[in-house]
Structure 1
Amino acid sequence: MLLFLLLFIGLPLIEIYFLIEVGSEIGALPTIALSILTAVIGTWLVRLQGFGVLMRVRGMMDQGEVPALEVLDGALILIAGLFLLLPGFLTDIVGFALLVPPLRRWVVRRYIQVVPVQGHGARQQGPRVIEGDYRRDE
C-alpha cells in the first residue's frame, strides 16, 4: 500500500521537477513540444510493435499453441504505451525502455520466476470443488 502511495505522489512530483528543469534550460514551448513529440513517436512505436505481437499471437493460436509469453509481451507494450502518453520525461524513458524487445523478454522471464504459476498442474490450496449439474427424480 505504501508503495502505491509513493508511486501516485512521488512520481508526479519527480516528473514536475524534471519538466521545470528542462523548461528552464530550453524554454517552456520547446519542452511542451518535446513532450508531445515523445508521445507521438511512442504511440507510433507501440502500434507497430503491438501489431507484431498480435500477429504472433494469432499464428500461435492457429497452430493450437497457447500464446502465454506473447500475451505478457503485449501487456508490457500496453504499459509502455501508457507511460509514453503520460506527460513527463521519466515516464517516457521507462516507456521507451519497455519497447526494447530484449528488455521486455528479460522482464517477462523475471516475472515468470517471481510469480507462482497457477494452472492444471499446480497444487491447489483449500477445498477441492467439482462443479456439475444434477437433477432430482422423485
Structure 2
Amino acid sequence: MLALFVLLPLIEIALFVLVGGWLGLWPTLGLVVLAAVAGMALVRNQGFAALRDLQRSAQGMGDPARPLAHGALIVLAGFLLLLPGFFTDLLALPLLVPPLRRLILRQLAARVVVASATVRTTRRWPGPGADIIDGEATEIPPEAPPLPRNRPSGWTNPPE
C-alpha cells in the first residue's frame, strides 16, 4: 500500500512532464481540466442511473447487490477523476463504461467466496394464502384516561 502512495504521484508527475513537453503548458492544463469536467459529468449521469436501478431493485424486492456494486465503482471512478493527473483518469475510464464495469464486476465476483448465507422463508396461512405477520399488541382498556390534547407530546422540548 505504501508503494501505491509513492508510485502514484511519481507516475503522475512523469506523465505531466511528458505530455507537457509534447503539448505545452496550457494545452496540458486544459486537457486535465477538460478530462475532470467531462469525467464528473459522466459520473453524475451514471450515478443517477445506478441510483434509479437501486430504487427499482428495492421497490421490486430484488437483490440490491448489482446496483450497489455498480454505484461503488462509479464512486471510485469519481474519486479517481478528482485526483489531478492522466494516469488516474486512465484508471477511471473503464469504470465509466457499463460493459467494462460489468466485466470488472464479473471478474471480482469470481474471486469472492460466500462463507454462509441465511434464507428466511415465510409460512403461508392454510387458506386464502395470506402471509403470517408476527407482532405484538397491547390492549388499552376502555377505562384508561383519554390522551391529553393541545399539549406538548413529550417528544420535543417545550419552548422556553
Superposition deviation, residue 117 in structure 1: 2.1
Which residue pairs with 1:83 in the alignment? 80
For 1:12 and 1:38, the matched residues in 2 are separated by 18
For 2:116 and 2:37, the matched residues in 1 are separated by 39
Encode CA deviations 1:87-117: one digit per residue, 9 max, x unaligned: 1111111111210111111111111111222
Task: Please tell me the residue identity of whatever aligns with 1:41.
Answer: A
Q: Which consecutive aligned stretches of 4+ in structure 1 deviate over 4 angstroms post-superposition?
A: none
Is 2:33 the partner of 1:33? no
SS state of the match for residue 73, structure 1? helix
For 2:48 and 2:13, the matched residues in 1 are separated by 33
More helix by share: 1
For 1:66 and 1:20, the matched residues in 2 are separated by 47
SS state of the match for residue 41, structure 1? helix
Is 2:55 the partner of 1:58? yes
For 2:10 and 2:52, the matched residues in 1 are separated by 39
SS state of the match for residue 66, structure 1? coil
- Give runs of aligned pairs for residues 45-124 of structure 1, distance below 5 A: 45-121=42-118
Superposition deviation, residue 118 in structure 1: 4.5
Structure 1 unaligned blocks of 5 or more: 122-138
RMSD: 1.5
Percent identity over the alignment is 45
Task: Please tell me the residue identity of whatever aligns with 2:105.
Answer: V
Superposition deviation, residue 42 in structure 1: 0.3
Which of 1 and 2 has higher RCO (CA within 8 Å, sep 6+)? 1
For 2:26 and 2:115, the matched residues in 1 are separated by 50
Encode CA deviations 1:3-40: one digit per residue, 9 max, x unaligned: x1111111110110000111111111211111011000
The TM-score, its normalising length taken from structure 1, stands at: 0.81
Of 31-40 and 106-115, the range deviating more from structure 2: 106-115
For 2:114 and 2:62, the matched residues in 1 are separated by 18
Larger radius of gyration: 2
Structure 2 unaligned blocks of 5 or more: 119-160
Q: How many residues align?
A: 119
SS state of the match for residue 50, structure 2? helix
